[in-house]
Chains A and B, each alone.
Chain A
């Protein structure tokens, strides 16, 4: 089945033709972002005199530097927290046969069924009452908790198929369970940690509804909300808007292209937060 025949050639042409259709939005995005303000030709025609001034304008006017920084902060902090607490939780939930441990596992797994829309409104009131509204901390707290069921699910699935010999050897050598977990078990779970990090980071970076709610009115915004506000102001000036959109997705696209194999592998495992 490894021959490249004329049939394969036809399939290749079909695949490339579909790719052209899928590429159309990308073409429009880039073509318009590099266009001068006075260029009135159709957005379908390749831009004759490309410019980068739209990117400079978008960066300065939308305060995208601050937004990128906020998004990075929220993404890194919440992912670090969710990895630490979920990995650690998975250990007793898999290794203990105690009934309380099983009950805890199922209580956490129920979270996989709960869309956050129900929790959103009561939680909003709580966050408001404890004075975290408008701070990026509210988002870190929210994502760290929201992503626990999914992350625990991935970690427990992986840990179940991991041999216990290394931990037992460490225990025999006198290491405490806490040390054993962080020194022996956690490093061995690296493959699944990679998946947990990638899936959670992309979800947090892209989320729109939560920061729209928890940060609205405050000076600090994450990328999706900053772009939302920016477009509101610049609705007529699409080239600058598009330059802003490209800046907003650049970090995630760079990560995607650098880690394409792991990203695709993580998603094709068939689970998403």
Chain B
């Protein structure tokens, strides 16, 4: 972030170059977010020109409404569980692929592929896989484990598990490529020296590789966490937030309340709750990266 000292030959007028970007950004994101932050304290219905201030009523209604509380809890569960599992799988895959196996190039492209797939497509594919008579239950029958069969999407708890499996399938490869990039920075000489000194693979990972990977861990954890907090397509397509309102995420409940029921004020209040969660995590990430000195 250091700026070079020295006389700038550029005139201040070139700040005009930033005007188009600022105008687009302000029109689409900044101004509507500020307006939305005001609307969250009103009873605005999205249509009328007039509205009244209602103070914290919209926020109180979130915590008084079991469906909204459930959506907040689901969102946090989805974000945390998918982050932990995807990062463990991603790190494992990165370590495997980094071990000079022959199929590493093919497998890297393969494992990352789900991350670029359209979430709508992935969600439909898994909706079919998780159907009562679908391939997954069929697979359990075929291998003689019918006890594992479930009505995956019909049961509230299992539906949440199914949604998380889909997200993990997509995000593990993403974590993997971040870790693979991080592993490039681990000096091979250091690992060899460790081996010579008699450190086993686990010890070498913990004492040499892990500290070097710290920035990669921070980035991967935060990105998947934020992705999880915003989840929409997977939930909307696989369960529609159901059965009942049992599997709603914040985004699906906001969409439902605002655009199907016209509850704009309380929807924006919910979106603000989401904004605070995302902003807090981003701020933590920024600090952690500064602390680790890995921010590029």
Is the beta-carbon distance between B124 and A231 smaller than 8 angstroms?
yes
CB distance from B177 to the nearest CB of A (A): 4
Is the beta-carbon distance between A121 and B177 smaller than 8 angstroms?
no
Is the beta-carbon distance between A264 and B177 smaller than 8 angstroms?
yes
- CB closest residue in chain B, given A94: B3
Is residue A48 contacting chain B, with contact meaning CB distance below 8 A? no
Stretch at the interface among B61-69, B126-134, B148-156: B126-134
Is the beta-carbon distance between A89 and B21 smaller than 8 angstroms?
yes
25 contacts between A and B (CB under 8 A): A8-B101, A12-B103, A15-B93, A15-B103, A16-B107, A22-B173, A24-B129, A24-B135, A25-B126, A28-B129, A95-B8, A113-B282, A114-B30, A117-B275, A122-B32, A123-B28, A126-B32, A145-B26, A145-B29, A148-B24, A171-B10, A202-B116, A213-B255, A224-B119, A267-B112
Is the beta-carbon distance between B251 and A111 smaller than 8 angstroms?
no
Known pairs A22-B110, A88-B20, A89-B17; list 19 more (Cβ under 8 Å): A15-B101, A28-B135, A85-B21, A88-B18, A92-B18, A96-B15, A114-B30, A117-B271, A118-B36, A120-B271, A121-B46, A121-B264, A122-B33, A145-B28, A181-B17, A252-B118, A267-B112, A268-B177, A270-B181
Is the beta-carbon distance between B102 and A12 smaller than 8 angstroms?
yes
Is the beta-carbon distance between B115 and A267 smaller than 8 angstroms?
yes
Is the beta-carbon distance between A206 and B118 smaller than 8 angstroms?
yes
Is the beta-carbon distance between B29 and A119 smaller than 8 angstroms?
yes
Q: Which of B1, B169, B258 is the one whose CB lies under 8 Å from A22?
A: B169
Is the beta-carbon distance between A267 and B174 smaller than 8 angstroms?
yes
Q: What is the 8 Å Cβ interface bit string for chain A, positions 114-144, against chain B (1 contact, 0 not)?
A: 1111111111111000000000000001101
Is the beta-carbon distance between B191 and A252 smaller than 8 angstroms?
no
Stretch at the interface among B52-60, B77-85, B206-214, B216-224: B216-224
Q: Which of B92-148 contact A (CB under 8 A)?
A: 93, 96-97, 99-103, 107-122, 124-126, 128-129, 134-135, 138-139, 142
Interface residue total, chain B, C-beta cutoff 8 A:
105
> How far is it, in angstroms, between the C-alpha of A124 and the C-alpha of B259 when the chains are bound?
10
Q: Which of B22, B124, B142 is the one whose CB lies under 8 Å from A89?
A: B22
Q: What is the 8 Å Cβ interface bit string for chain B, positions 182-222, against chain A (1 contact, 0 not)?
A: 00000010011000000000000000000000001001100
Which 6 pairs of residues, A with B, have the shortest CB-CB distance? Answer: A145-B28, A119-B32, A89-B21, A270-B219, A145-B24, A89-B18
Is residue B167 contacting chain A, with contact meaning CB distance below 8 A? no
* Contact (A115, B100) CB under 8 Å given A146-B28, A227-B120, A270-B223: no
> How far is it, in angstroms, between the C-alpha of A109 and the C-alpha of B254 when the chains are bound?
25
CB distance from A35 to the nearest CB of B (A): 12
Is residue A104 contacting chain B, with contact meaning CB distance below 8 A? yes
Central interface residue in A145, A146, A241, A260, by most chain B CB within 10 Å: A145
Interface of A (DSSP majority class): helix
Is the beta-carbon distance between B275 and A114 smaller than 8 angstroms?
yes
Q: Please report A residues at the B interface, Cβ cutoff 8 Å.
A: 1-2, 4, 8, 11-12, 14-16, 18-19, 22-25, 28-29, 32, 42-44, 81-82, 84-86, 88-89, 91-93, 95-98, 100-101, 104, 107-108, 110-126, 141-142, 144-146, 148-149, 152, 157, 160, 164, 168, 171, 177-178, 181, 202, 205-206, 208-209, 213, 223-224, 227-228, 231, 238, 241-242, 245, 248-249, 252-253, 256-257, 260, 263-265, 267-272
Is the beta-carbon distance between B32 and A209 smaller than 8 angstroms?
no
Chain A residues contacting B115 (CB-CB under 8 Å) are 267
Interface of B (DSSP majority class): helix
Is the beta-carbon distance between B102 and A42 smaller than 8 angstroms?
no
Is the beta-carbon distance between B142 and A95 smaller than 8 angstroms?
no
> How far is it, in angstroms, between the C-alpha of A111 and the C-alpha of B20 when the chains are bound?
15
* Contact (A11, B116) CB under 8 Å given A18-B93, A260-B109: no
Q: Which of B121, B134, B188 is the one whose CB lies under 8 Å from A248?
A: B121
> How far is it, in angstroms, between the C-alpha of A32 and the C-alpha of B134 when the chains are bound?
12
CB distance from A107 to the nearest CB of B (A): 7
Is residue B91 contacting chain A, with contact meaning CB distance below 8 A? no
> How far is it, in angstroms, between the C-alpha of A149 and the C-alpha of B279 when the chains are bound?
14
CB distance from A6 to the nearest CB of B (A): 12
Chain B residues contacting A123 (CB-CB under 8 Å) are 28, 32
> How far is it, in angstroms, between the C-alpha of A120 and the C-alpha of B28 when the chains are bound?
9
> How far is it, in angstroms, between the C-alpha of A149 and the C-alpha of B174 when the chains are bound?
22
Chain B residues contacting A205 (CB-CB under 8 Å) are 118
CB distance from A131 to the nearest CB of B (A): 15
> How far is it, in angstroms, between the C-alpha of A85 and the C-alpha of B254 when the chains are bound?
31
Is the beta-carbon distance between B24 and A111 smaller than 8 angstroms?
no
Chain A residues contacting B14 (CB-CB under 8 Å) are 91-92, 95-96, 177
Is the beta-carbon distance between A85 and B188 smaller than 8 angstroms?
no
Chain B residues contacting A119 (CB-CB under 8 Å) are 28-29, 32-33, 36
Chain A residues contacting B11 (CB-CB under 8 Å) are 177
CB distance from A147 to the nearest CB of B (A): 9
- CB closest residue in chain B, given A248: B121
Chain A residues contacting B254 (CB-CB under 8 Å) are 117, 120-121
Chain A residues contacting B258 (CB-CB under 8 Å) are 121
Is the beta-carbon distance between A108 and B15 smaller than 8 angstroms?
no
> How far is it, in angstroms, between the C-alpha of A101 and the C-alpha of B11 when the chains are bound?
12
Is the beta-carbon distance between B113 and A228 smaller than 8 angstroms?
no
Is the beta-carbon distance between B15 and A121 smaller than 8 angstroms?
no
